[in-house]
Amino acid sequence: MSGAPPSSVRKGSAWAIWLPLALFVVFVVLVTVGLLRPADRNVASTLIDRPLPSFNLPSPLPGGAGLKSADLSGGRPRLLNIFASWCVPCRVEAPQLAQLAKAGVTIDGISVRDRPDALQAFLAENGNPYSRIGADNAGSVQLALGSSGVPETYVIDGKGRVRYQHIGEIRPEHVALLLGKLEAAK
Amino acid sequence: MATVHSPRIKAKHQRLVLLVIALAVVLLAGLLAAWALRSQASYFYVPSEIVAKPPEADRFVRLGGMVEKGSLKTAPDGVTIRFVVGDGKSRVPVSFSGIVPSLFVEGSGVVAEGRMQPGGTFKADNLLAKHDENYVPREMQNMTQAQARKVVAETQ
Amino acid sequence: MIAELGLAALWLAAALAVLQLVGGALALTARGSALGDLVRPVAVVQGLLALVAFAALIRVFAVTDLSVRLVALNSHSMKPLVFKIAAAWGNHEGSMLLWVTVMGLAGGFVALVERRLPERTMLATLAGQAFVSLGFYAFLLIASNPFERLATPPAEGNGLNPLLQDLGLAFHPPTLYLGYVGLSVAFSFAIGALVTREVGPAFARAMRPWVLGAWIFLTLGITAGSYWAYYELGWGGWWFWDPVENASLMPWLAATALLHSCGVLAARNALRAWTIMLGVVAFSMSMVGTFLVRSGILTSVHAFAVDPQRGTFILALLAINIGGALTLFGLRAGTVTEGERFAVVSREGALVMNNVLLSAILGIVLFGTLYPLAAEAMGAKVSVGPPYFNPVSALFFVPMLVVLAVGPLLRWRQDKLDRIGKGLALPAAMVVVALLAVLMIGGAGLLPYLGLALGAGLAVASFLPLRDRNLRRTPLPIWGMVIAHFGVAVALLGMASESAYSVERLVALRVGESTAVGPWSVRLASVDPVAGPNWTALEGKLEVRYAGGAVEVARPQARNFWAPAQQTSESSLLTRWNGQLYSVLGEEASDNRWQVRLWWKPFVTLIWLGGMLIALGGVLAVIGHVLSDWRRIVARSRIADRRESQGR
């Protein structure tokens, strides 16, 4: 070991010692700003309080009714759920959707990039809370809604305007929140 | 260490020389980086921006937008494609030679890297379509109102 | 059950990390606290428990236990076993678990083996290691539990991004992680030394194997990652200056600098504060890299999941660890005594130049990587690519090559340039000859010319340190240095040759039609469907001839994966001694023609060969240092024995 006496303590470059910390602080501030910015964008979705884009989707299942944007302005608030049989979180949220349906909420579904047989199996397994289902095979309606993934749920008011967007699966703790948003949309 | 103070080495002086060299290099690096970034960083445009305020000719930029349905045409050579990228306000014709990324389809989002040609066509050297069906390029989030991806829907 | 076992092991490991931290800290303050004796065994057990947790995760992935959320999201029962296992760390939670596991094992190993340092420094080091680990344990247990169960397990999993279903990539992230974690040990040593102010050759020798080891893994990881991007992305490029790539390059640059300054500290007891600083910076760069990749704050062509929340967590860890370390550095570095002095023209001086230039390149890469972020904060969206990175980093890389050629020939402390002038005549002549040769061939830009000429000179210069040495008695670390430096020259030649002489051809061919690229003639013989375990593909059969020679076959594929449904193109590589033919099959164009993209890349393989040589040099150096340390310990204990027996 260097048992050197601290006789020649460096003094001249005292400020230089703090330079790395200063640079690091600049870095942290910069990335914090960067991290917060996209989060701000999430809240300010421009679709909120605007009418839905118009669409007319066929039914994914033989004999179903399909889903038009006009169906959604039926005077009462309702939920629009974007889902797919291949999506794991959609299975996670199925019990909550069933609970909401039982509470008297009308739920319409848009199934994204799905196959009829897989969808049939999914509904048989997880229950079918939907009053209507539209098949969005190209994902174009999903994109028009400003949804980047599955699942996503929208609260639509009686005039067919988007009032609230829920990203990700509906967990048990979100049910009350959604019911509240539906109430507010009346 | 204060044990060796050889007069031959002139320690203080030598140290100073090293320090000056180091500072000069760092300063040079900083200045150079700043200058090069200003001239070499490629900017991201959406169609309405690139139409309203085109970049200087031969400047490497990125253009992001949605590939319009029905606009995709293959040239007779079999490897050049032309399509129109739009953002709902403006439309920009794009040409590209190369193997198209597999997720590149009409109606989907794309980021094209290349240069704006004098005739108003964008010549792409590269098309970026992320290999992830849930992906929306971060730069396009403003335009599509797409939201951050969910914790759970990730595929890596 | 296995998943719960893993979770329990993880909690227990975290608890032990707390004990390790508190015990170490208390033992440092209260003198002779009994807790101090606990720290080493606790560190070992903590590492083993983390290993148990990781083994549990591998197990649930291997048997595809779909009731575990992570498995359901990232695996699929139809996947080949090796990819099922690789899927365990091919995702965020699993990779973080791998991180803490390796970190715990490394800490345990240090606790078991390291006996050279004063006990107080060791305690501070292990406490520091526990502190860093604890952040990651908290991250795992609070924000990203890998063992979370699903209430209703799905019938089938989501699958793994097919781009990542590749052996090279399966082992690429763990390699980089080993590097990052190795640097975390160096970081802990630096903290320990700062706390006790014991900075000297012994500290450098204790730290050096870890830095070397980390640096070897980073070198291998970057080399492998570059090769993966080269053949898997199908773009023909081998380095894109993508944020993800930069994230692995920056720690490597810092580790390279640290490695060299560590050598100075070990041999000459100089550059003390600077080495400590680099120890902190190298690990900071690892964390910054992980943060940039995982937070998705920068757009990257590599598909990584994006989650700002996780980013916030890693950023918090980063701020605490690095901010704390830099503050400690600011408080203590002033009191670390100055090291031995040396002249500008000396081995130390050259190594300082190496450090300065590497730091400059590091700064340039970091600056360019973060610039889009800064620009976005001001409202502009930019991306920074090769037009910035290539020339700007080259400007510092070129003088570094000169230092690299000259430095190893200089003596420690003080030397004169004219003493070594004669020795450098040969490499200088090589540079001139090579420059004339490439200028006569022509057809490339300034940078590739410079690269070829300097590469040729450096290849010769890197062997000069062996001159006047008895090769049998040359220590292994010297061999390591020579080979690593030679590897730099080889890689440089590969890069320059690739960028100077690559030929590209893009055509649409009917079956039976031919084309040519460089010296190759290529005929599309057929396009057939083929099937793999979880994909189907169209496979082109290309009959190729090099300069009219024998027919060889290249088989590029366009693959369709089932789960998740995706398409990828599998490029085909035909390797000759003097380069590679790279072919990609595109889509079917109109009228039965197939898009085919071909590159002839002379000597491109030298890039990765060089990378492997660099790593090999590192391996030799590690072996050499460990062996000589071992001999020193044995000799010392023998002397002690002898004294004891004489005393009697």
Whether B45 has a binding-site annotation, put simply, is no
Collapsing DSSP states into helix, strand and coil, what is residue C177?
Answer: helix
Nearest CA to A110 out of A60, A76, A62 is that of A60
Residue C296: pLDDT band with limits 50, 70, 90: low
CATH T-level assignment (fold) for domain A56-184: Glutaredoxin (3.40.30)
Contact B150 A138 (CB under 8 A): no
Residue C485: pLDDT band with limits 50, 70, 90: very high
Task: Please tell me which residue of chain C has the smallest CA distance to B128.
Answer: C301
CA distance linking residue C461 with residue C403, whole number of Å: 11
Higher pLDDT, B151 or B39: B39
Give pLDDT, residue C32.
61
DSSP A51: B
Contact between B109 and B137 under an 8 Å Cβ cutoff? The reply is yes
3-state helix, strand, coil in chain A (%, to 5): 45, 20, 40
List the single range of A33-47, C95-109, C582-596 with lowest mean pLDDT.
A33-47
3-state helix, strand, coil in chain B (%, to 5): 30, 25, 45
pLDDT tens digits for C257-287? 999 999 999 988 888 888 999 999 999 999 8
Residue B54: cis peptide before it, omega within 30 degrees of 0: no
ipTM over 0.85: no
Sign of CA dihedral B139, B142, B147, B148: positive
Query: Taking the CA of residue A15 as centre, how many other CA atoms within 13 Å lie in the half-sphere pointing to its CB?
Result: 0
Measure Cα distances from C477 to C212, C469, C482, C626 in Å: 11, 14, 9, 10
CA distance A124 to chain B (A): 22
- Residue that the structure tokens 């009462």 belong to: A76
Domain ranges within chain A, ordered by starting residue? 14-43, 56-184
In this model, does residue C4 exceed pLDDT 60? Answer: yes
Mean pLDDT of C528-553: 87
What is the CA angle B53-B54-B59, rounded to 5? 135
Residue C604: pLDDT band with limits 50, 70, 90: very high
Whether B135 has a binding-site annotation, put simply, is yes
List the single range of A30-34, B70-74, B131-135 with lowest mean pLDDT.
B131-135
Measure Cα distances from A140 to A113, B69, C242 in Å: 10, 11, 30
Q: Which two tokens stand for residue C230?
A: 């080269």
Residue C361 CA to chain centroid, in angstroms?
A: 16
What is the CA angle A134-A139-A140, rounded to 5? 95
Contact A41 B153 (CB under 8 A): no
Collapsing DSSP states into helix, strand and coil, what is residue A133?
Answer: strand
Task: Give residue C304's identity as a one-letter amino acid code.
Answer: F
- Residue that the structure tokens 């596991």 belong to: C101
Residue A85: pLDDT band with limits 50, 70, 90: confident
Q: Which two tokens stand for residue B86?
A: 């739009």
Mean pLDDT of C426-438: 91
Contact between C219 and C618 under an 8 Å Cβ cutoff? The reply is yes
Mean pLDDT of C566-578: 84
Give the whole-number percent of chain B exceeding pLDDT 70.
Answer: 67
Higher pLDDT, B15 or C313: C313
Q: In this structure, which CATH number among 3.30.70, 1.20.120, 1.10.40, 1.10.3470 belongs to the domain C162-342?
A: 1.20.120
Contact between C350 and C407 under an 8 Å Cβ cutoff? The reply is yes
Centre a 10 Å sphere on the Cβ of residue C17 and count the other Cβ atoms it contains. Answer: 31
Residue C427 CA to chain centroid, in angstroms?
A: 30
CA distance C126 to chain B (A): 28
Contact A28 C315 (CB under 8 A): yes
Collapsing DSSP states into helix, strand and coil, what is residue C634?
Answer: helix
Sheet bearing C572-576, strands edge to edge: C503-509, C594-602, C579-588, C572-576
Residue C348 CA to chain centroid, in angstroms?
A: 26
Residue A147: pLDDT band with limits 50, 70, 90: low
CA distance linking residue A80 with residue A97, whole number of Å: 11
Strand intervals (E) in chain B: 42-45, 61-67, 73-74, 80-86, 91-97, 109-116, 122-128
Query: Taking the CA of residue C66 as centre, how many other CA atoms within 13 Å lie in the half-sphere pointing to its CB?
Result: 17
Contact residues for C432 (Cβ-Cβ < 8 A; gap 6+): C453
Q: What is the dihedral of CA A70, A75, A78, A83, to 10 degrees?
A: -10
Contact between C605 and C577 under an 8 Å Cβ cutoff? The reply is no
Q: Is B58 on the interface with A (CB under 8 A)?
A: no
Q: Which two tokens stand for residue C605?
A: 């393989």
Q: Is C273 on the interface with A (CB under 8 A)?
A: yes
Listed as own residue / partner, the contacts of C446-452 with beta carbons closer than 8 Å and 24 or more positions apart are C447/C390, C447/C391, C447/C394, C447/C496, C447/C499, C448/C496, C448/C497, C448/C499, C448/C500, C449/C496, C449/C500, C450/C394, C450/C398, C450/C496, C451/C492, C451/C493, C451/C495, C451/C496, C451/C499, C451/C500, C452/C493, C452/C496, C452/C497, C452/C500
Q: Is C335 on the interface with B (CB under 8 A)?
A: no
Q: Is C368 on the interface with B (CB under 8 A)?
A: yes
Sign of CA dihedral A104, A110, A115, A118: negative
List the single range of A166-170, C215-219, C477-481 with lowest mean pLDDT.
A166-170
CA distance linking residue C537 with residue C108, whole number of Å: 47
List the single range of C133-137, C140-144, C501-505 with lowest mean pLDDT.
C140-144
Strand intervals (E) in C272-320: none
pLDDT tens digits for C30-74? 666 677 788 899 999 999 999 999 999 999 999 888 888 888 877
Partners of A2 on chain C (C-beta within 8 Å) are 199-201, 269, 337
Give pLDDT, residue B147.
27
Domain ranges within chain C, ordered by starting residue? 1-160, 162-342, 503-602
Give the whole-number percent of chain C exceeding pLDDT 90.
Answer: 43
Q: Is C334 on the interface with A (CB under 8 A)?
A: yes
Mean pLDDT over the full length of chain B? 70
In this model, does residue C166 exceed pLDDT 90? Answer: no
For A66-89, letters b (16+ CB in 10 Å) and e give ebebebbbeeebbbbbbbbbbbbb
In this model, does residue C145 exceed pLDDT 70? Answer: yes
Task: Please tell me which residue of chain A has the smallest CA distance to C273.
Answer: A17
Task: Give residue C39's identity as a one-letter amino acid code.
Answer: V
Higher pLDDT, A5 or B89: B89
Partners of C589 on chain B (C-beta within 8 Å) are 74, 78-79
pLDDT tens digits for C410-424? 888 888 888 888 888
3-state helix, strand, coil in chain C (%, to 5): 65, 10, 20
